[in-house]
C-alpha cells in the first residue's frame, strides 16, 4: 500500500477546511483530500451569507444575545463571544483572499437580516454567498504552491489511531486510509495532525436541502476513532425548501423572509403570528415546527412564501439566482406564491471540540459543521454557520502551528490495508435499498416532532441496518457508495441515541412525551466507539 506523508492532513474542502489548510501551509506541508471535486461542499450551496458585527448600531453583545436566545439555553457563552468577536477580522481576511461582499452605493456593506437577528448583520454576495467564498478560497489555496496539495476524488475511509504516548488509555490519531474513487485503490496518509472538515449530515434524512456530499463522514469517522460526539439530537430543519415533484433539494434562503416575505397558506393568509410575535423572522426551530403543524393539522402538502409585494425589480436584483431557479420550475417570485416545506438542513451536533477544534483524541481536530463547539446550542442562529467555519478553521490552524508537538507520533506505522476475503460486489441493490431505508426511517421517526415510541422504532431498525451494512462492508470491496451508507447509518444511530437521552423539549428537539424544558441545560455526549 502506498503511504503519503505530510505535516497536516485536512479532510474536506469547504470554508472551514480551506481556511485551516491555507493557514497551515505557512507552517508545513498540507495534504487536503476531498471526496468529489474540490468545489463540491456545503459551503458552495450556502445562499444567505455570514453573520458579523459590522455597523456602529450593532454590537458584539447584541450578536451574542441573539445567538444565546436562538440556542435555547444550551450555548457556551464563552465560545459564542470568542467566535462573534473574531468575526470582523476573519471577514477582512476573506476580502483579502478575494471574496466580494455586496456593498451599497455609498460603499457601506449591504447587510441582510434573517430569522432570530434583531438587526441587519448578514454579509452576502448576492444570493450565492457560499459559491463566492468557495471560489475565492479555492483560488487562494491553489496559489499556495507545493506546500498545499489538493487531492480530489479521494474519499477518506477511516482514521488510524495508536495509543496516546502521553495519556494512558487514550488514543492518538496518526493518519487515515483513503479510497481513490477513480481507480478503486486504497492508500494511507500519515500525519501527526488531522483536521476533519467534512461538513454536515443532511443526507441522513430523506428530504434535505443539502448536497449529496453531506453524509456525516467526519462525524462517523471521528466516533469510530474514539472521539466524543455531542448534541446530535439537535438537527435543524430549514423551514423553506422548494416543494416541487421534480426539484431535488432547492433551498429558498431565509434572506427572502429577511427582505419581507411572509409565510401564508394557499389563500394568502399569514399564520406565523399565531406561533411567535416575530412572525416569519422567528428562529428556524419555531418556524419549521409551525409549518409542520399547519401542514399536518390541515392536511396540506405545503405552505407558501409571499414576497410579491416587493415588486419584480427588487426581487430580480436582490435574488437573481433564486429567482432564476424558481422560474426554471415554473414559479415566479414576483407573481406567484412559492410552495415550501421544511427539510433537513444543518447538524448542530457533532464532534465535541474546543473553539480551536481540539477533540479528546490527540492529533485529531474537527471544524465547521463537523464539530460541536458550543456556539449553536439547541438551535443555530441563521448565518452563524459560515461565521463559525471561517473563525474556527483559522483558530484551529493557529493552535496547531503554535503547538507542533501536540499531535500524534510522527513515526507511527500505517498498517497496510487488508481487504481480507472481500470480493467485488454483485449486489449493489442492497446498498440502494439500505440507503433508502435509513433515510426514510429517520424522516418518519426522528423528524421535527418526536415521540418515545417513534425513537424506539427507529433505534431497532437502524441497529438492524447497521449490522447488515457492517457485514456488506467486510464482504465486498470498498466503494464510495458503501462508505457513505456506512457513515449515514452510524450518524443516524448517534442522532437516535442522543434524542432518546434527552428527556425534555429544547430548541430543535421537540418531544410530545416530554414537552417541557428542564430548568438546567445539559449537553448530550456519546463517547467514542468502544468507550464506556
From 322, 344, 366, the end of a domain falls on: 344
Helix/strand/coil (H/E/C) assignment for every residue in 44-69: HHCCCCEECCCCCCCCHHHHHHHHHH
532 pLDDT band, cuts 50/70/90, is: low
Task: For residue 84, give every residue at least 6 positions away whose Cβ sits within 8 Å of its Cβ, in sequence order, or none.
Answer: 53, 60, 63, 64, 67, 387
303 pLDDT band, cuts 50/70/90, is: very high
Instruction: Give Cα 109 to chain centroid, integer Å.
Output: 26
* 111 and 37 fall within a common domain: yes
Sign of the four-CA dihedral 431, 434, 436, 442: negative
From 309, 327, 344, the end of a domain falls on: 344
* 268 and 376 fall within a common domain: no
* 174 and 264 fall within a common domain: no
Domain ranges, residue 461? 428-512
Cβ distance 230 to 360 under 8 Å?
no
Sign of the four-CA dihedral 503, 509, 392, 51: negative
Residue 418 lies in a domain: no
Cell readout for 184 is: 478503486
Cβ distance 160 to 349 under 8 Å?
no
Q: What is the pLDDT of residue 247?
A: 84
What is the rounded CA–CA span in Å between residue 532 and residue 530? 7
Q: What is the mean pLDDT of residues 304-320?
A: 96
3-class secondary-structure state, position 346: strand
* 76 and 195 fall within a common domain: yes
Residue 520 lies in a domain: no
Q: 153: phi > 0 → left, psi -120 to 50 → alpha, else beta; which?
A: left
pLDDT tens, residue by residue, 147-183: 999 999 999 999 999 999 999 989 999 999 999 999 9
Cβ distance 276 to 374 under 8 Å?
no
**In the chain, % of residues over pLDDT 70:** 100
* 245 and 205 fall within a common domain: no
Residue 412 lies in a domain: no
What is the rounded CA–CA span in Å between residue 192 and residue 410? 5
Residue 522 lies in a domain: no
* CATH at 291: 3.90.700.10
From 329, 344, 359, the end of a domain falls on: 344
Number of neighbours of residue 426 by Cβ within 10 angstroms:
7
Helix extents (H) in 232-307: 255-258, 284-298
Residue 427 above 90 pLDDT? no
Residue whose cell numbers read 495534504: 31
* 440 and 358 fall within a common domain: no
* 438 and 490 fall within a common domain: yes
pLDDT tens, residue by residue, 113-125: 998 999 999 999 9
* 384 and 481 fall within a common domain: no
Residue 194 lies in a domain: yes
Q: Pick the catalytic residue: 171, 190, 230, 284?
A: 284
Residue 519 lies in a domain: no
What is the rounded CA–CA span in Å between residue 357 and residue 211? 24
What is the rounded CA–CA span in Å between residue 309 and residue 319? 15
Residue 140 lies in a domain: yes
Q: What is the dihedral of CA 44, 84, 204, 252, to 10 degrees?
A: -50
3-class secondary-structure state, position 365: strand
* CATH at 481: 1.20.58.100
pLDDT tens, residue by residue, 449-462: 999 999 999 999 99
What is the rounded CA–CA span in Å between residue 469 and residue 158? 16
* CATH at 364: 3.50.50.60
Q: What is the pLDDT of residue 48?
A: 86
pLDDT tens, residue by residue, 386-403: 999 999 999 999 999 999
* 377 and 438 fall within a common domain: no
- Within 13 Å of residue 50, how many CA atoms lie on the same side as its CB? 34
* 46 and 135 fall within a common domain: yes
Number of domains the chain is built from: 3
Catalytic residue list contains 284: yes
* 82 and 168 fall within a common domain: yes
Instruction: Give the mean pLDDT of the chain.
Output: 96
* 105 and 33 fall within a common domain: yes
Residue 410 lies in a domain: no
248 pLDDT band, cuts 50/70/90, is: confident
Cell readout for 216 is: 456525516
Amino acid at each position: 500500500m502506498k503511504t503519503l506523508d505530510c505535516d497536516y492532513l485536512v479532510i474536506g474542502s469547504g470554508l472551514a477546511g480551506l481556511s485551516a489548510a491555507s493557514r497551515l501551509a505557512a507552517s508545513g506541508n498540507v495534504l487536503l483530500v476531498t471526496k468529489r471535486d474540490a468545489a463540491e461542499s456545503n459551503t458552495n450551496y450556502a445562499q444567505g451569507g455570514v453573520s458579523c458585527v459590522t455597523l456602529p448600531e450593532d454590537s458584539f453583545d447584541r450578536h451574542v444575545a441573539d445567538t444565546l436566545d436562538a440556542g435555547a439555553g444550551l450555548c457556551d457563552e464563552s465560545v459564542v463571544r470568542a467566535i462573534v468577536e473574531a468575526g470582523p477580522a476573519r471577514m477582512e481576511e476573506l476580502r483579502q483572499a478575494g471574496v466580494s461582499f455586496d456593498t451599497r452605493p455609498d460603499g457601506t456593506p449591504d447587510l441582510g437580516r434573517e430569522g432570530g437577528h434583531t438587526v441587519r448583520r448578514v454579509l452576502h454576495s448576492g444570493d450565492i454567498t457560499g459559491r463566492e467564498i468557495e471560489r475565492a478560497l479555492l483560488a487562494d489555496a491553489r496559489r499556495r504552491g507545493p506546500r498545499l496539495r489538493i487531492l480530489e476524488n479521494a474519499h477518506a475511509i477511516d482514521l488510524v489511531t495508536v495509543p496516546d504516548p502521553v495519556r494512558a488509555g487514550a488514543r492518538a490519531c496518526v493518519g487515515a486510509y483513503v479510497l481513490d474513487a477513480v481507480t478503486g485503490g486504497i492508500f494511507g496518509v500519515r500525519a501527526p495532525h488531522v483536521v476533519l472538515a467534512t461538513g454536515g449530515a443532511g443526507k441522513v434524512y430523506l428530504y434535505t436541502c443539502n448536497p449529496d456530499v453531506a453524509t456525516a463522514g467526519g462525524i462517523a469517522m471521528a466516533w469510530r476513532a474514539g472521539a466524543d460526539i455531542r448534541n446530535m439530537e439537535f438537527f435543524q430543519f430549514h423551514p423553506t425548501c422548494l416543494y416541487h415533484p421534480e426539484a431535488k433539494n432547492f433551498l429558498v434562503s431565509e434572506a427572502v423572509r429577511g427582505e419581507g416575505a411572509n409565510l401564508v397558506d394557499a389563500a394568502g393568509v399569514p399564520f406565523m403570528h399565531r406561533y411567535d410575535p416575530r412572525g416569519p423572522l422567528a428562529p428556524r426551530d419555531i418556524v419549521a415546527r409551525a409549518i409542520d403543524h399547519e401542514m399536518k393539522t390541515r392536511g396540506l402538502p405545503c405552505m407558501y412564501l409571499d414576497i410579491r409585494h416587493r415588486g419584480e425589480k427588487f426581487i430580480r436584483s436582490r435574488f437573481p439566482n433564486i429567482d432564476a431557479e424558481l422560474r426554471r420550475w415554473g414559479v415566479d417570485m414576483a407573481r406567484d406564491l412559492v410552495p415550501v416545506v421544511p427539510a433537513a438542513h444543518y447538524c448542530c451536533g457533532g464532534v465535541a471540540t474546543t473553539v480551536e477544534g481540539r477533540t479528546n483524541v490527540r492529533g485529531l481536530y474537527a471544524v465547521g459543521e463537523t464539530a460541536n463547539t458550543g456556539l449553536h446550542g439547541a438551535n443555530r442562529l441563521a448565518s452563524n454557520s459560515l461565521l463559525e467555519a471561517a473563525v474556527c478553521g483559522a483558530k484551529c490552524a493557529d493552535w496547531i502551528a503554535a503547538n507542533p508537538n501536540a499531535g500524534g507520533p510522527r513515526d507511527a506505522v500505517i498498517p497496510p490495508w487488508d481487504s481480507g476475503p472481500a470480493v467485488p460486489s454483485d449486489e449493489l441493490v442492497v446498498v440502494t435499498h439500505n440507503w433508502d431505508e435509513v433515510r426514510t426511517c429517520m424522516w418518519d421517526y426522528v423528524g421535527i416532532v418526536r415521540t418515545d415510541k417513534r425513537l424506539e422504532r427507529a433505534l431497532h431498525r437502524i441497529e438492524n441496518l447497521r449490522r447488515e451494512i457492517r457485514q456488506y462492508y467486510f464482504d465486498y470491496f470498498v466503494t464510495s457508495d458503501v462508505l457513505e451508507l456506512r457513515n449515514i447509518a452510524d450518524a443516524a444511530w448517534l442522532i437516535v441515541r442522543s434524542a432518546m437521552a434527552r428527556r425534555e423539549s429544547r430548541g430543535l428537539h421537540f418531544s410530545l412525551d416530554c414537552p417541557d424544558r428542564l430548568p438546567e441545560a445539559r449537553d448530550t455526549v456519546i463517547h467514542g466507539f468502544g468507550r464506556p
